[in-house]
Each structure stands twice: as C-alpha cells, then as structure tokens.
Structure 1
C-alpha cells in the first residue's frame, strides 16, 4: 500500500518558540514602520491568515500586495537568521529518527502541510538536518491560503501528479487545525501532543490516532502506516 505522510513543522518536528513573535514584530517595522500592538495566535494557522490578521489589527491595508511585502520581510529575516537557527530552536525528540525510518519504506512519500512560507519551512528543517527525507516540491504551504484545508488539497494534488495515486494519506500535526484540515479531505489524521494542545484535546478534535510524542520510532512508524489502513 502506498502512503503519503504530510507533516506539520512547528511543535510537531521542531520547536522555535518565540521566533515567530520576533520575526512578525521586525517585519511590521520593516514594512510599515509601526510598533507591535497585537500578536495573533500562531498554532495551526497559515502565514497568509496570520499576516492578514496582523496587518488588520494594526490598522493597515491587507491587500495581496501588502501581504506579499510582509512575506518578503519575513523571508529576509529568516535568511538573516539562517546560520543561527540551530541555536534558536531544537528538533523534537524522535523527529530525525522517524523521518529517516519512513524514508527506508519504498511505498512511503513524505512531504509537508505547514503554515510556514516555503523558504521558512526549508530553513527550519535544514537547521537540524531534517530536510533530506522531505519532498518540498509537493508540500502545502501557508502562503497559499488562509484556510489550512486548502493546503492539504494542494499537497495531495501535487503529490499525486508527481508520484501517482496513493492508497492512503496521513496528516500529522500538533493542533486541532491540523486535524480538521485532514478530516476535511477524508485523510487519516494523527495528532502529536508536543505543542500547546493535550492528547485529550486532539482526540476531541477528531484525530484518528494520538501520540504523546515521536520518541518511540517503531511504534510511531507502525501508528502512521497502520492508521492508513483504517
């Protein structure tokens, strides 16, 4: 059976807590020169959704052009911080091992559904050498839409176009937003309680499988691949 595994990044594979606040604050100053008054809630959100809320909350135009300017500022900040990212965050326990393990399975393709911009996604994983086993070309990224389920749709369509049809699709993330996006398209959803939400909250949101973390590689691999046969 061929399986597509779509990973969330922040607080699922890596933890860069605090960096989003700093990048958004500095991007706001760079784009429009005003101080921070409001910071949106980040978990499970897409970059396009966050940018629109952020700009609106500061009384600023949130047209596509302005949002793209904001994205450019975020990208510049990530480029600036790229050499220091290993010291600014950490890979979550078990993340390197499970990515490497799934990469040994000929019938598994790994990509992303993440609220991050594509370049931020690449840098965040590259910092901890997690990028080798991910097909970035077919991911669903936060620049695409304010709605996370549209990121899942994009990732599935691009994955199928490149690799052929899959028997199962598994969406993995740490928030109810990740779960809801997967459920919207009938995928198997796996909640990982390594972020701001408890295992109980992820179960309540509809996750088919809930994991405390990614530390037990064989058990996680079995859960991800067996869950696709539900």
Structure 2
C-alpha cells in the first residue's frame, strides 16, 4: 500500500459548528465597526476566510482594522465553549481513530478557515492532534491554491511525495470537488453540510457518501 494523503475540510465535513464562525465574525464586526449582522447575506460555504471578510468590508465600505481578527478569535473561543455550538459529524472520530492503525494513511487540513479559527473550532472536541499541518484561509487566494498548499505542507511534514491518485480531497461542497479536478487528485464528497447528496453528485466527485458512518466503506475505497 502506497502512502495516502487525506485532505480534510472542516465545517460540514469534520464538524458541524452551527454557524459559530458567522456568529463570531458578526460580533467582532459589530465591536469594531458598530454594524450588526454584517455577514448576513455573504456566502461562506467552501470559501476562504480572507475573501469572506473582504466581501464584508467592501459591502459596508469600511477598511480592515488590525484588531478585527484579534477580537474575532477571542469571541470564537468563547462561542465554541458552549456545548451545543460544535458537534463532530457521524463517523469522523471512528475514521480518525482507526486510521492510526494504518501508518500509511496521513491527514492534513484543507480549509477556508484561517489557521487560528480552524484550530479553535477543532479544539472543542480535541481533534487537532490528528491534523499536524494543512492549508488555511489566512491569505486571499483561490480555494484550490489552499488545497495545493495543504498537499505541499503534508509532503514536507510526512517527508513523502504522494502520487496524485493517492491524494483524496474530502469535503462537503462543490468547491472541494472542483479543487480535486483542478489539481488532478481524487475527491470524496460527503453530504453532511449545506449541499444535498444529489446536488453534490451532479458535480461528479470520484466518491460520494451521505455521511461517513460507513467507515468500512470509507477505508475500502482507500
């Protein structure tokens, strides 16, 4: 068995955060700019935090202030302390725990979340230890560039060069599937986010699941 790299999205794939990120962004924006519900009509699914915040700044015609992200992170820490704010999605913990048995299955994050936001969300259920590195949404770039960064960071961390057919992008949005096609890797779509199974299927992922409760099936495809 060759080395396999799984590149994981966070929101809607690993966890359901019930809008924790949006709540924290809204609260931080209000504290800094005095504008309520600043992110109400802004699309977030599968997008980069830097782009999402940029859309809000443009929409409300304000300039970025350095303290915004500092305040956002502090608020997010408080939001995720609420027990019901973040839940691990079906099958995820079982997959991560069982994958430890397979020394050649490696994990990284490939997320639109900025690195601190990603780590804060995953810390609520102690998931960070499974993901030593990854690509994140701190800088304004295309989603596929974040995934490319995740793969490169994974290769550095695990000291291995992965064949493209052994790299799997795991996500819950059409953007994740698109990234895999751009980069020539495999895609695993999971309908545990905002997109229904049939909608994701239309985008022709390599593999698709309603959820990841069928852990045997997941490992079988690898």
TM over 0.5: yes
Give the TM-score normalised by structure 1.
Answer: 0.87
The Cα RMSD (Å) is 1.7
Deviation string 1:98-134 (CA, Å, 9 cap, x unpaired) is 1112222111110110111212212222212322322
Q: C-alpha separation between the residues in 2 aligned to 1:70 and 1:189?
A: 34
Q: C-alpha separation between the residues in 2 aligned to 1:22 and 1:88?
A: 10
Deviation string 1:55-79 (CA, Å, 9 cap, x unpaired) is 1111112xxxx27543222212123
Q: C-alpha separation between the residues in 2 aligned to 1:210 and 1:195?
A: 13
Task: Report the equivalent of 1:162.
Answer: 157
Equivalences, count: 217
Give the TM-score normalised by structure 2.
Answer: 0.90
Task: Report the equivalent of 2:7.
Answer: 6
Change (3 A) 1:179 1:76: same
Gaps of 5+ in 1: 226-230
Contact preservation (8 Å) 1:24, 1:74:
yes
Task: Report the equivalent of 1:122.
Answer: 119
Secondary structure of the residue aligned to 2:110 is: strand
Runs of 4+ in 1 over 4 A off after TM superposition: none
Secondary structure of the residue aligned to 1:97 is: helix
Which residue of 190, 204, 207 corresponds with 2:205? 207
